[in-house]
Amino acid sequence: MTAGDPSLESTRAIALEAIDAGADVIELGVPFSDPLGDGPVIQRACERAVARGTRLADVLKLAAEIRAARPAAGLVIFTYINPILRYGLHRFADEASAAGADGVLVIDLIVEEAGEYLVEMERVGLAPIFLAAPTSPDERLEAIAKHSKGFVYGISRVGITGTQQSLTTDAASLVARIRKWTTLPVAVGFGISNAEHVAQVAEFADAAVIGSAIVELVERSTAENAPGAVGRFIEGLRLSARTDDAGPRKDAPRAEALSA
């Protein structure tokens, strides 16, 4: 979800409702003025949140509130590298860890250029999460697997975020390739937007990542109705996945509390 859309207070309510409805991990998106890796739905959400003055410091404060309210849920900060660099990498790492985040996904940071970032994540115990694409060569997948913690994020297609009508066969083959290099859970995202998609992903991956469909649902709802709408949507997705786990494993580290 994009923090600050429609407001920080609404995002908090939506996140808590999502967790209570069965979401194992929340990706708390930092709004950015130039989200080139995202499609029009998340771009619009970022524009609205930035226009309302939402900044990285606000998102970290919100993360701390979510962590205090739902201590067992997984919590990932989703951002581009620019807001982190403006904030200060060292400061960001300290404050994200203090806020109770489990990991960080920087959408436009590739593993080959992540040396300083990885040092900071290791220093504070945050899980670095990287995107693995169907076009990634084996040497890059091996590097991603080596440096990832918590889970590996496989994208179902090449391109920007956004909903799609059907999943490509690239997703299943990508997950199989990733598993050659790691035993970490593998999550699949980009374009997953309905219960049928989640059921398909559950056949070969450990988690389905839903982004644009939820952001669009928030966009279509009033601030008052958005939490309930998102909760009902997630409940339907959970019912579609073939799993005997109704939520995060109580004995698992938060960053690894993933199920299909």
Which of the residues are catalytic? 27, 38
| HEC per residue, the chain | CECCCCCHHHHHHHHHHHHHHCCCEEEEECCCCCCCCCCHHHHHHHHHHHHCCCCHHHHHHHHHHHHHHCCCCEEEEEECHHHHHHHCHHHHHHHHHHCCCCEEEECCCCHHHCHHHHHHHHHHCCEEECEECCCCCHHHHHHHHHHCCCCEEEECCCCCCCCCCCCCCHHHHHHHHHCCCCCCCEEEECCCCCHHHHHHHHCCCCEECCCHHHHHHHHHCCCCCHHHHHHHHHHHHHHHCCCCCCCCCCCCCHHHCCCC
Amino acid at 214: I
Q: Which amino acid is at 243?
A: T
By the 8 A CB rule, do 58 and 4 touch?
A: yes
CA dist., res. 150 & res. 153, Å (int): 10
Identify the CA nearest to 23 among candidates 72, 58, 91.
Answer: 72
Q: How far apart are CA 216 and CA 115, in angstroms?
A: 35
